[in-house]
């Protein structure tokens, strides 16, 4: 039976309950343009979503050379046919009239249209001049977590072995650097241990700083379906906001911002104290337990209760859930990775799994999540601060191996220091040692911390900025050359989601105007630069997505992320295959570490590790003595208070993040009418008690300020923890009168006007979740509600008694849903 549902008002659709250990039922979500019926669709083209890390498989409906809709793929292992609101509506932005269709170059201070020849010539001549005058270190590349594997790999080869620069990183630094680092610290190498299928088997789910309901709505549907079925899992949520996850939780802890390590140390203390350690597992597969036991010995729930402002009894209940679990699945995301002591905290969650032996079995899994759709590929291809194939930059054998794959001398690949991290690259650009910065698929003028500084450093005369994007973003407007890119649906490539599932997305329609796939742009640049290998042959001999994929397979051979068993043809078969996929595992690999730890041996590991608190690197000698046999490493960390604490001038804590309806800087979702209507402008979440104390009400206009800057937003009074403010970071300036930044006509509204330039010592991930802020009234509301959704964590607190109109998407928001469409209270409870 098909049902039609407003999927803006009901983002998760109807329930298909299932029991533990059963297969998650299929439900196919389809949205077609108004007036288009399924029989009107000429072709369905295979793709996977690129608006989160879930990797939801979907087919694109094409008619008359245009996209007219999308449909979830029933057979896919990830989504079993379901799609989230952004998947259902976001694709409409592709056809937006303001897409970039021609290259732009800056002349007399203004960006003007030009042809590809002129634009590429300019980039190539600047690159050559800089190489000659200042050397490879004067060029930097800042890329994305939203391109395809083939594009990152090509960029990594051209930057590392072509130019020979160490300055290549992704916006994944802002996103999943901590996931990668935490996996390296505990397991010696990146590589996600768990699988989404663990949701089907777990008896306990623990979500740390992860608003799964809004940021991976399809896996949240899976959790909701299990909660409605037989033998439902117990749920632990650690988040200071009343997210949907928090509301469905068995135990919800809402700690003070930046205190994750204190809380986790107390949870570990309790697990050890109550005798829940799997000593056989610890003995067989780990090193470092004694140090952990000593470190957390004094970290009682009462101790943590003071620091975290969470009742000690509640911490005890949470520890009891974790300690009594027989199959525990944990997920971790930005409430940990972008908060204070990010890596130290993420590693303590690994430690819970190691001491409890909760790895490598169905339901016993760990997901150090990704956020962006292809962040995993950025990391494995070495387009961020890693080397391709998770090779270790400090291990000469790994460099020699990579050099052999590329047929270059090893000294051609910079490995004198760790690959430069993004925050450092922007510092180099500010100071003038980087003179050309090529930015692809990211919008740092909205997404980096401390925007006034970012705008000013990108505007410097001496810095040559290339921006490759779909739209004239805030960043593009500061560029010297803008290259119009083709995107999802207009180009072919592979992407790997957070649970190592590889999907192929194929070209469905032509890109607008002269826009070109990112791969073609990088290949064109490499050809013009005439990069050669050591035999004088082209360094990059591949010429299209499939040949790039084949080249990557050779680079991945024998590494943890082994793709050698995959091919485009195979990816057109059963939908979604998890790496490693090779001769030994031709159908892919559901879980890592089913039989001990594979990649932590000193000769194999990706990193020799760091001190979690200071970030100081360990040497190979230290690593060999700590972990000669390549076991998992249990690393302890002491809690330290956040650097920026509330005080008299800035009495609040400020955190930032997401809502279900928007993706990042809204370049796509802001151009999809249903999504934009659901959350049209910025707001600030204030607790009921803080609002009462300061005489603030729903809809009041306030200023949120920190030592860096300020923004203006309307108040939404919610059940957020008292003392904490939350601002969504989606709202920049492209759709304001100013166009690119705050000015006389455009009040500041981007969250990152206020965030701090500070990062985790180990992962170098910036701190978007911990700052101190002040709140002042600018203007009383006129009775209208804040422009914030009511279906989500930002739902108004019932305690205020203020009537706020519910979020709906109107007629265009209806989606068909095949299969049973049961509704339950959990769904309706929000208003
Ligand atoms: N709708 C939507 N989905 C997305 C995206 C999007 O933009 N929109 N982006 C994708 C990307 S790239 C990413 S990285 C993911 C991010 O996905 P999430 O990490 O789930 O999203 P956030 O809203 O950034 O942060 C999650 C939660 O962290 C909590 N938090 C803040 N500070 C702390 C703290 O100190 N401790 C703890 N325990 N929690 C804290 C916040 O209250 C928030 O609810 O989402 C992906 N999916
Ligand atoms: N305050 C605060 N700041 C944050 C965060 C937070 O929680 N709080 N989260 C951080 C995180 S986790 C992330 S991931 C970042 C995201 O930050 P950004 O990466 O800056 O955000 P996006 O809006 O996704 O930018 C992607 C850009 O790429 C373009 N694009 C899309 N597809 C393609 C393509 O195929 N090719 C090309 N060339 N361009 C394309 C889009 O139009 C867009 O301009 O923000 C970070 N910043
Ligand atoms: Mo992210």
3-state secondary structure 195-213: CCCHHHHCCEEEEECCCHH
Close Cβ partners of 530 (under 8 Å, ≥ 6 residues apart): none
Co-location of 298 and 365 in the same domain: yes
pLDDT, residue 161, reads 98
572 domain residue, yes or no: no
Can you give the pLDDT at residue 740? 84
Same domain, 206 and 241: yes
Q: Tokens 């460099």 identify what position? A: 399
Angstrom CA distances, 116 to 103, 352, 484, stand at: 6, 53, 10
Gap between the Cα atoms of 192 and 186, Å rounded: 12
Tens of pLDDT along 46-99?
999 999 999 999 999 999 999 999 999 999 999 999 999 999 999 999 999 999
- 88 lies in the same domain as 111: no
Q: Which of 65, 97, 129 is the last residue of a domain?
A: 97
Residues 6 or more apart whose CB falls under 8 angstroms from that of 250 comprise: 234, 235, 236, 321
Domain-located, residue 753: yes
Residue 371 near ligand 1, beta carbon < 6 Å: yes
Q: How many Å lie between the centroid of ligand 2 and the Cα of residue 441?
A: 7
- The residue whose CA has the least distance to atom 24 of ligand 1 is 657
Which residue CA neighbors atom 13 of ligand 2 most closely? 175
Distance separating alpha carbons of residues 827 and 248, to the nearest angstrom: 10
**Residue nearest ligand 1's atom 29 by CA:** 335
Where does a domain end: 560, 589, 614?
560
**270 C-alpha to center of ligand 3: Å?**
32
* DSSP-assigned states of every residue in 51-83: SSSS--EEEEEEETTEEEEEEE-TT-TTTTT--
Q: Are residues 699 and 753 in the same domain?
A: yes
Q: Which of 558, 664, 571 is nearest to 604 (CA)?
A: 558
The CB of 211 under 6 Å from ligand 1? The reply is yes
Query: Could you tell me if residue 432 is inside a domain?
Result: yes
The CA–CA distances, whole Å, from 196 to 205, 221, 670 equal 12, 12, 29
Cα–Cα distance measured from residue 623 to residue 165, given in angstroms and rounded to the nearest whole number: 28
Distance (angstroms) between ligand 2 centre and the Cα of 372 equals: 8
Q: Whose CA is nearest to atom 3 of ligand 2?
A: 447
> Domain of 76: which CATH number?
2.20.25.90
- Co-location of 252 and 306 in the same domain: yes
- Given the structure tokens 């337990």, which residue do they identify? 289
DSSP 84: -
| Distance (Å) from CA 3 to ligand 3 centroid | 33
Q: What is the pLDDT of residue 829?
A: 47
Burial (CB < 10 A; 0-12, 13-18, 19+), residue 355, is buried
| 196 close to 165: Cβ distance less than 8 angstroms | no
Which residue, 199, 327, 216, 332, is CA-closest to 264?
332
pLDDT of residue 64: 97
Ligand 3 centroid to residue 331 C-alpha, Å: 15
Phi, psi dihedrals of residue 139, rounded to the nearest 5°: -110, 135
Atom of ligand 2 nearest to the CA of 656: 8
Which residues have any ligand 2 atom within 6 Å of their CB?
A: 144-147, 171, 174-175, 334, 338, 371-372, 440-444, 446-447, 468-471, 473, 485, 487, 518, 656-657, 664-665, 667, 729, 751-752, 755, 768
Q: If you take atom 29 of ligand 2, which residue's CA is the nearest one? A: 441
Task: Report CA(375)–ligand 3 centroid distance (Å).
Answer: 8
CATH number of 691's domain: 2.40.40.20
Does the beta carbon of 54 lie inside 6 Å of ligand 1? no
pLDDT value at residue 2: 79
Asked, for residue 237, whether it belongs to a domain, the answer is yes
Ligand nearest to the CA of 147: 2
Are both 428 and 346 inside the same structural domain?
no
Domain check: are 540 and 623 in the same one? no
Residue with CA at minimum distance from ligand 1 atom 41: 335
584 is a domain residue = no
Q: Which one of the ligands is nearest to 99 CA?
A: 2
Query: For residue 468, which atom of ligand 2 is closest to its CA?
Result: 38
Kindly report the protein residue whose alpha carbon is nearest to atom 14 of ligand 1: 371
Question: Which pair of tokens denotes residue 96?
Answer: 């937006």
Is residue 790 in contact with ligand 1, taking CB distance under 6 Å? no
What parts of the chain have a pLDDT lower than 50? 825-826, 828-831
Q: What is the CATH number of the domain that holds 278?
A: 3.40.228.10
Of 48, 75, 97, the residue that ends a domain is: 97
Give the distance (Å) from ligand 1 centre to CA of residue 658: 6
Long-range Cβ pairs for the range 538-544 (8 Å, 24+)? 539/157, 539/158, 539/161, 539/162, 539/406, 539/407, 539/408, 540/154, 540/157, 540/158, 540/162, 542/154, 544/519
Ligand 1 atom 3 nearest Cα: 215
Residue 280 within a domain: yes
Nearest ligand by distance to the CA of 670? 2
577 C-alpha to ligand 3 centroid (Å) = 23
Taking the centre of ligand 1 as the mean of its atom positions, its distance from the CA of residue 211, in whole angstroms, is 6
Regarding whether 57 and 148 lie in a shared domain, the answer is: no
For position 473, which CATH number holds? 3.40.50.740
Ligand 1, atom 8, residue with closest C-alpha: 663
Please check whether residue 508 lies inside any domain of the structure.
yes
Considering the domain architecture, whether residues 692 and 795 belong to the same structural domain is answered as yes
Q: At what angle do helices 312-324 and 260-273 cross, to 10 degrees?
A: 60
Q: How many Å is the Cα radius of gyration of the chain? A: 25
Residues 148 and 85 in one domain: no
Tell me: do 339 and 286 sit in the same domain: yes
Ligand (nearest to CA of 371)? 1
Residue 820 confidence (pLDDT)? 60
Atom 28 (ligand 2): residue with closest C-alpha? 441
Regarding the beta carbon of 662 and ligand 1, being less than 6 Å apart is answered yes
Cα angle 421-137-184, degrees, rounded to a multiple of 5: 30
Note down the domain range covering 212. Answer: 177-369+603-633
Beta strands in 485-622 (DSSP E): 493-496, 501-505, 577-578
Residues 666 and 746 in one domain: yes
pLDDT digits (tens, 9 = 90+) for 641-696: 999 999 999 999 999 999 999 999 999 999 999 999 999 999 999 999 999 999 99
Q: Alpha helices, DSSP H only, in 107-259?
A: 116-134, 149-157, 177-187, 198-201, 212-215, 217-227, 244-248
Number of domains within the chain: 4
Give the atom of ligand 2 at the shortest distance from the alpha carbon of 447.
47
What is the reported pLDDT for 823? 60
Q: Find the 789 Cα to ligand 3 centroid distance in Å.
A: 21
Closest ligand 1 atom to the C-alpha of 85?
Answer: 1
Q: Of ligand 1's atoms, which has the minimum distance to the CA of residue 259?
A: 35
The span from the CA of 202 to the CA of 236, in Å, is 12
């Amino acid at each position: 039976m098909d049902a039609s549902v407003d999927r803006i008002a009901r983002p998760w659709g109807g329930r298909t309950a299932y029991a533990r250990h059963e297969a998650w039922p299929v439900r196919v979500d389809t949205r077609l343009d108004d007036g288009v019926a399924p029989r009107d669709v000429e072709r369905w083209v295979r793709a996977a979503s690129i608006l989160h890390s879930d990797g939801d498989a979907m087919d694109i409906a094409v008619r008359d050379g245009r996209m007219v809709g999308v449909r979830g793929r029933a057979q896919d292992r990830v989504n079993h046919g379901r799609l989230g609101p952004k998947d259902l509506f976001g694709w409409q932005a592709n056809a937006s009239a303001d897409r970039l269709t021609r290259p732009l170059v800056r002349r007399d201070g203004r960006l003007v249209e030009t042809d590809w020849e002129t634009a590429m010539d300019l980039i190539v001549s600047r690159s050559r001049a800089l190489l000659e005058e200042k050397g490879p270190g004067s060029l930097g590349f800042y890329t994305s977590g939203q391109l395809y594997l083939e594009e990152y790999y090509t960029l990594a080869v051209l930057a590392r072995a072509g130019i020979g620069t160490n300055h290549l990183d992704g916006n994944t630094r802002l996103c999943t650097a901590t996931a990668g680092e935490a996996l390296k610290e505990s397991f010696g190498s990146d590589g996600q241990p768990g699988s989404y299928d663990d949701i089907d088997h777990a008896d306990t789910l623990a979500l740390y700083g992860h608003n799964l309901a809004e940021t991976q709505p399809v896996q949240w549907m899976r959790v909701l379906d299990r909660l409605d079925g037989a033998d439902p899992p117990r749920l632990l949520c650690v988040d200071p906001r009343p997210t949907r996850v928090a509301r469905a939780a068995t135990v919800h802890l809402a700690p003070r911002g930046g205190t994750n390590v204190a809380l986790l140390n107390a949870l570990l203390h309790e697990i050890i104290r109550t005798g829940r350690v799997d000593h056989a597992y610890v003995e067989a597969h780990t090193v470092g337990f004694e140090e952990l036991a000593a470190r957390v010995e004094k970290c009682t729930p009462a101790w943590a209760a003071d620091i975290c402002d969470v009742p000690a009894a509640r911490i005890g209940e949470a520890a009891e859930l974790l300690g009594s679990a027989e199959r525990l699945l944990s997920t971790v995301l930005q409430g940990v990775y972008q908060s204070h002591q990010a890596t130290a905290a993420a590693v303590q969650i690994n430690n819970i799994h190691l001491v409890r032996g909760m790895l490598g079995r169905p339901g016993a899994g760990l997901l150090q999540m990704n956020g962006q759709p292809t962040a995993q590929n950025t990391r494995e291809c070495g387009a961020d601060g890693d080397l391709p194939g998770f090779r270790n930059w400090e291990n000469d054998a790994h460099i020699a191996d990579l050099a052999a794959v590329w047929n270059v001398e090893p000294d051609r690949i910079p490995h004198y220091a760790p690959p430069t991290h993004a925050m450092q690259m922007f510092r180099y650009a500010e100071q003038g040692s980087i003179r050309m910065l090529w930015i692809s698929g990211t919008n740092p003028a909205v997404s980096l911390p401390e925007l006034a500084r970012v705008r000013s450093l990108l505007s410097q005369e001496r810095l040559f900025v290339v921006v490759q994007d779909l739209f004239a973003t805030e960043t593009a407007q500061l560029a010297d050359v803008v290259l119009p890119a083709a995107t999802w649906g207009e180009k072919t490539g592979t992407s790997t989601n957070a649970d190592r599932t590889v999907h192929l997305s194929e070209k469905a329609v032509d890109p607008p105007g002269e826009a070109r796939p990112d791969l073609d742009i990088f290949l064109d640049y490499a050809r013009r630069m005439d990069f050669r290998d050591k035999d004088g042959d082209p360094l990059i001999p591949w010429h299209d997505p499939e040949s790039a994929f084949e080249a990557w397979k050779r680079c991945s051979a024998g590494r943890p992320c082994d793709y050698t068993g995959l091919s485009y043809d195979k990816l057109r078969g059963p939908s979604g295959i998890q790496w490693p996929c090779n001769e030994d595992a031709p159908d892919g690999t559901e879980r890592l570490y089913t039989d001990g730890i594979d990649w932590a041996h000193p000769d194999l590991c990706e990193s020799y590790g760091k001190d979690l608190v200071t970030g100081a690197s360990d040497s190979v000698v230290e690593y060999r003595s700590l972990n000669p046999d390549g076991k998992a490493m249990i690393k302890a960390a002491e809690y330290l208070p956040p650097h920026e604490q509330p005080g008299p001038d800035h009495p609040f804590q400020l955190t930032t993040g997401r809502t279900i309806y928007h993706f990042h800087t809204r370049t796509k979702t802001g151009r999809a009418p249903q999504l934009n209507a659901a959350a049209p402008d910025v707001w600030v979440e204030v607790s009921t008690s803080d609002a009462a104390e300061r005489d603030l009400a729903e809809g009041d206009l306030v200023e949120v300020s920190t030592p860096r800057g300020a923004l203006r937003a309307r108040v939404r009074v919610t059940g957020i923890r008292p003392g904490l403010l939350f601002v969504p970071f989606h709202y920049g300036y492209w759709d304001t009168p100013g166009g690119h930044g705050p000015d006389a006509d455009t009040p500041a509204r981007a969250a990152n006007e206020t965030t701090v330039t500070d990062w985790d010592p180990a992962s170098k991930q910036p701190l978007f979740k911990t700052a101190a802020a002040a709140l002042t009234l600018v203007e009383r509301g006129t009775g209208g509600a804040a422009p914030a959704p009511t279906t989500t964590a930002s739902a108004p607190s019932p305690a205020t008694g203020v009537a706020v109109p519910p979020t709906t998407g109107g007629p265009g928001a209806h989606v068909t849903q095949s299969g049973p469409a049961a509704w339950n209270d959990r769904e309706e409870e929000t208003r």
